[in-house]
Homo-oligomer: A and B are copies of this chain.
């Protein structure tokens, strides 16, 4: 028998409880071992919950119970969650989490701690909710050197952009609708300013290229400046606007550039049809070429099912399921100013310019025009080329 404790019985934590309750026998059969939910740590009580009698309020009970082999951390944040994770791993208890902030910020340290104590730290649910992505990256693509990772990593912003594109809602109206539907928080900053996507591209890049990329190394731009005019111009050129987290490994020295920013993407790209709260991650490897993973990026049950899959993996591997990467530092990354792309520009004035295709848009404001450059340019090259233009919007084209 393997005993599990859940820390935090909120949305994801209670989803994990629900799966254990509903599919417990199926799960035990598949791992050839009885999986038992022994404790739920929360400040609240849950009368009526089938596991109401397992709710406790003191982490030290879990920490000091040698029977607990796996701890599910679904609290979030980098305070108490960080503390509990370190204490559990130090006792040789494997930890499974959906906490992307913690992994992005302290992943290397926690992986080292797991290794030193002969246990596992797994976090499939921290990126892409239910989409299996970290495991395929670490196992199935193992024979590849990865070259690029690009993804729609945040469901809230993708929902807002989809509503702007499909229903012609303004950014503010689409955000309000997302909040009304429960797809956006009351304080939506982490989503719309790209912080959530930033944490996810950090985790994907650390795993994919083998060295920790920290959030402060990732220039991050959100979607709050995107206008309906940009959406319409993009459409007129056969593009859609999407928020991407992206990272590129430079062949010459193995350094990585990671950033988060809105991009125009060709409407025939497989990334273009990723709508609403769905996420998708496109990975390019040297042998395999492009591979894309698509699914619901968030939501109680998808995320909980990814957590349970990690627990099952640990039970099967008797706690020795290892993910590792090296620590990162200033020598790990190179600046986004060295990444060349074609560009979308919206500028003041009714202009034609050499070296760019002008876009036509029935709803265009007077006295503005928009272009896509013919050539790929780095940001400094772009600034030199666009000298004299009054730029009102500027996005990369992928």
Contacts and interface: CB of A to CB of B under 8 A. Distances in A.
Interface of A: 19, 23, 26-27, 30, 124, 130-132, 135-136, 139-145, 268-270, 272-275, 278, 280, 285, 287-296, 299, 301-302, 304-306, 308-309, 312-313
B291 A305 contact: no
Contacts of A141: 132, 305, 309
Given A19-B287, A140-B306, A270-B294, 6 more contacts: A23-B143, A130-B287, A130-B288, A130-B289, A143-B304, A272-B273
A211 to B, nearest CB: 15
A240 B287 CA distance: 30
A295 B295 contact: no
Contacts of A269: 273
Please indicate which of the listed interface residues A30, A132, A289, A302 has the most CB atoms of chain B within 10 Å of its own CB: A132
Given A291-B295, A296-B288, A270 B273 contact: yes
B139 A313 contact: yes
21 contacts: A27-B142, A131-B291, A132-B136, A132-B140, A135-B135, A142-B309, A142-B312, A143-B306, A268-B275, A270-B273, A270-B274, A285-B305, A287-B301, A287-B304, A288-B301, A288-B306, A289-B302, A290-B294, A291-B293, A292-B293, A293-B294
Instruction: State the 5 A-B residue pairs at the shortest beta-carbon distance, nearest first.
Output: A132-B140, A287-B305, A292-B294, A143-B308, A291-B295
Contacts of A27: 142-143
Given A139-B313, A141-B309, A288 B273 contact: no
Contacts of A273: 268-270, 272-273
